[in-house]
Chain A
Amino acid sequence: MHRALLYGGEDEFLSAAVPFLQEGLGESDHVLAVVPPMNEIALRDMLGTDMNDVQFINSLDFYLHPVRTIAAYNDVVQGVAPRRLRALAEPNWQGRSALETSEWGRYEAIVNAAFSKSGAQVICPYDRRKISNQVLKGCMRTHPELLEGGYYPAYNNDYTVPEAYNSNVDRETLAAAPAGVDRFLIESADLSPVRAFITERATRRQMSPANLNNLLIAANEVATNAVTHGTPPIELMVWVHDDSLICEVADIGLWHPEDLVGFLPPETANSIGFGLWGARMLVDLIQVRAGFNGTRVRITTAL
């Protein structure tokens, strides 16, 4: 059960959140509240001694990377089993770029799928005073039920299933690569020269060795995929944008990862989608665009 709680003030927030958490304590769920500090203070105040049975996490520390956050929630669900998870999960939307907001919107859609299998009960609070229209629209599309000024949820007609939401985000056009980027034609499964190409450019820009290694693994994965399943010519482009290094692998075939593969943590390294998921975990962002012009996979890593 995944609900959104739209609140316009602290009272609205508490009147829905507190009974929800207390109900969970009563049912011996594992009760988790990932909220901003102000809301945590308010909750602790209202819960009294019950607050000791609730696990509090600062949302500013938890919502750093969408794919890692999904994995973290998944770990919590697995970790508390056979108890059920009951969570108050309030992502922070402040100070995010349009791209980040879009990706966190996707996160909200996908985490639905992650939670639904385990029977977890989740309420996502959204502060109506602070969120943008884009975020509000996303909220409406990613939560099957809405709590708005009341305890009883209304069914949300704007709800879109995660797979559809996910596909839609992937239809948004990528900003074009700047002119004159460094290009490398990938012609063999031996990707040693590709890694050297990226390493040279990254070290020139003084990327940290840890970030570089993660980037190489992710880029290698994307390139391996292109060489194995893509249609030549396969090209790598590398450039710098703001404080990030962008690596894009493009081929003229058509590939799009199925459904939510690559976002949800796999069971083991042997599962389908492990490679793409692993790559997503290691870098800041991977965007896949597939169309009649071919497939582009763009990897963004902080320098």
Chain B
Amino acid sequence: METLNTQRPVGDLRPGDHAWLAYAHPDEQSRVLGDFVYSGLDAGEKIICVTDTLPRLLPGLLTRHEIDVTPFAEAGHLSVIPWNKACVLDGYCDPGQMAKTLEREIDKALDQKFNRVRITADMTWAAGLPGGSDFMLGCDHEVDSMVGPSTSVTAICQVDRRGCTPGALDALRSTHEVLVEVNPEYDDGVLKITRTYEPHGLRLEGEIDSARHAAFTHTLTSVSDPRSEVHLELGRLRFIDLGALNLIGTPAMRLTRGNGLVLDNPSPDLETVIQMVGFHRFPGITRGHGWRSQ
């Protein structure tokens, strides 16, 4: 069944959303999950994590938000359920059991007087096992039936995409309406900058002018990596002033330590401007995908 996906930053997830994250990099997982759990705790919501790790070591909390959530686990605000407790029945992994576990936990949360519940499930361990993709699809389906009709539960199911076959990734992706991504690095209503992981870089949406140059330079510096290319996804960039093009040009060589910036999917208007001004005047820029000219 093919469904159309929408991509939403983790901060915009709402009850009833069952979102999917096939992360390309531990930093991506850390940001999405860390922000999800942190905001939930901050808002007084119940957190349920189906994962084989200690509360303290849940992704993104100690590292990104500098918080040890052990006290929250001890106080019952956060439950970590190992997979063998969550879905094992008679020695076998059973998605149906997953549904029962979640139902029980959600009821417990409501008894504890929580209004809202956030669920995370890390399925990476199953990805490489025989029958793993079917199991993941099964679990996912169970989560969906709990969350979809709900007005108080939000869920993120994740997997490390490096452990999955392309076929499995496609199948899992297509069963989710909502794909979750990291929160933007910057969003002022006119310009939105979001980190990207495959390829590594930034996605620019909206308009960049001099009021936003500092924010742009700052985020560019933060993604600069001496070991890899930095990509700028420009498909939804409606306007970019000459000063910002300047920032992408020569200074970019310094920032990315000689690797330069790869521009993907510039608008035809932007291509025209770069061409009129002369591509060679921007030594730090390389053409990526979606250029009409060579």
A189 CB within 8 Å of chain B: yes
Chain B contact residue count (CB 8 A cutoff): 24
Which residue of A has the minimal Cβ distance to B268?
A210
A101 CB within 8 Å of chain B: no
Query: Contact between B273 and A270 (Cβ–Cβ < 8 Å)?
Result: no
Query: Contact between A214 and B273 (Cβ–Cβ < 8 Å)?
Result: yes
- The answer for the CA separation of A214 and B242 in the assembled complex, in Å, is 11
Query: Contact between B190 and A227 (Cβ–Cβ < 8 Å)?
Result: no
* A194 CB to nearest chain B CB (Å): 9
Query: Contact between B209 and A265 (Cβ–Cβ < 8 Å)?
Result: no
Query: Contact between A281 and B209 (Cβ–Cβ < 8 Å)?
Result: no
Q: Which of B242, B250, B272, B278 contacts A275 (CB 8 A)?
A: B242
Query: Contact between B250 and A224 (Cβ–Cβ < 8 Å)?
Result: no
Which residue of A has the minimal Cβ distance to B269?
A213
A228 with B210: in contact, given A209-B269, A269-B282 (CB under 8 Å)? Answer: yes
Query: Contact between B276 and A190 (Cβ–Cβ < 8 Å)?
Result: no
Q: Which of A189, A210, A267, A279 contacts B211 (CB 8 A)?
A: A189
The total of interchain contacts (Cβ-Cβ below 8 angstroms) comes to 84
A20 CB within 8 Å of chain B: no
Query: Contact between A210 and B241 (Cβ–Cβ < 8 Å)?
Result: no
Chain B 40-53, CB within 8 Å of chain A: the 1/0 string?
A: 00000000000000
Query: Contact between B242 and A217 (Cβ–Cβ < 8 Å)?
Result: yes
User: Which A residues are in CB contact (< 8 Å) with B210?
Assistant: 189, 191, 224, 227-228
Which residue of A has the minimal Cβ distance to B283?
A268
* A17 CB to nearest chain B CB (Å): 31
A156 CB within 8 Å of chain B: no
Query: Contact between A279 and B242 (Cβ–Cβ < 8 Å)?
Result: yes
Which residues, 54 to 107 on A, are CB-close (under 8 Å) to B? 68, 71, 75
- The answer for the CA separation of A189 and B251 in the assembled complex, in Å, is 22
Question: Chain B binding site: helix, strand, loop or mixed by DSSP?
Answer: helix
Query: Contact between A210 and B246 (Cβ–Cβ < 8 Å)?
Result: no
A274 CB within 8 Å of chain B: yes
* A277 CB to nearest chain B CB (Å): 8
- The answer for the CA separation of A266 and B278 in the assembled complex, in Å, is 10
Query: Contact between B209 and A220 (Cβ–Cβ < 8 Å)?
Result: yes
Q: Which of A195, A270, A274 contacts B207 (CB 8 A)?
A: A195
* B153 CB to nearest chain A CB (Å): 38
* B269 CB to nearest chain A CB (Å): 4
* A227 CB to nearest chain B CB (Å): 7
Which residues, 161 to 210 on A, are CB-close (under 8 Å) to B? 188-192, 195, 209-210
Q: Which of A75, A266, A269, A281 contacts B245 (CB 8 A)?
A: A269
User: Which A residues are in CB contact (< 8 Å) with B283?
Assistant: 268
B249 CB within 8 Å of chain A: yes
Most B Cβ at <10 Å: residue of A188, A192, A265, A275? A192
Chain B 234-266, CB within 8 Å of chain A: the 1/0 string?
A: 000001011101100111000000000000000
B277 CB within 8 Å of chain A: yes
- The answer for the CA separation of A191 and B249 in the assembled complex, in Å, is 22
- The answer for the CA separation of A301 and B211 in the assembled complex, in Å, is 25
User: Which B residues are in CB contact (< 8 Å) with A221?
Assistant: 241-243
User: Which A residues are in CB contact (< 8 Å) with B289?
Assistant: none
Query: Contact between B273 and A282 (Cβ–Cβ < 8 Å)?
Result: yes
Interface CB pairs A-B, < 8 A, 22:
A68-B276, A75-B278, A189-B209, A191-B211, A195-B209, A210-B268, A213-B239, A213-B272, A220-B209, A220-B242, A221-B243, A224-B241, A224-B243, A265-B278, A266-B281, A268-B282, A269-B246, A270-B251, A275-B242, A278-B273, A281-B277, A282-B273
Residues of A within 8 A of B (CB): 68, 71, 75, 188-192, 195, 209-210, 213-214, 216-217, 220-221, 224, 227-228, 265-270, 274-275, 278-279, 281-282
Residues of B within 8 A of A (CB): 190, 207, 209-211, 239, 241-243, 245-246, 249-251, 268-269, 272-273, 276-278, 281-283
Other than A191-B210, A214-B272, A282-B273, give 12 A-B pairs with Cβ distance below 8 A. Answer: A75-B278, A209-B269, A210-B272, A220-B242, A224-B209, A224-B241, A228-B210, A269-B242, A269-B281, A270-B246, A274-B242, A275-B242
The 3 closest A-B pairs by CB, nearest first: A213-B269, A270-B250, A269-B249
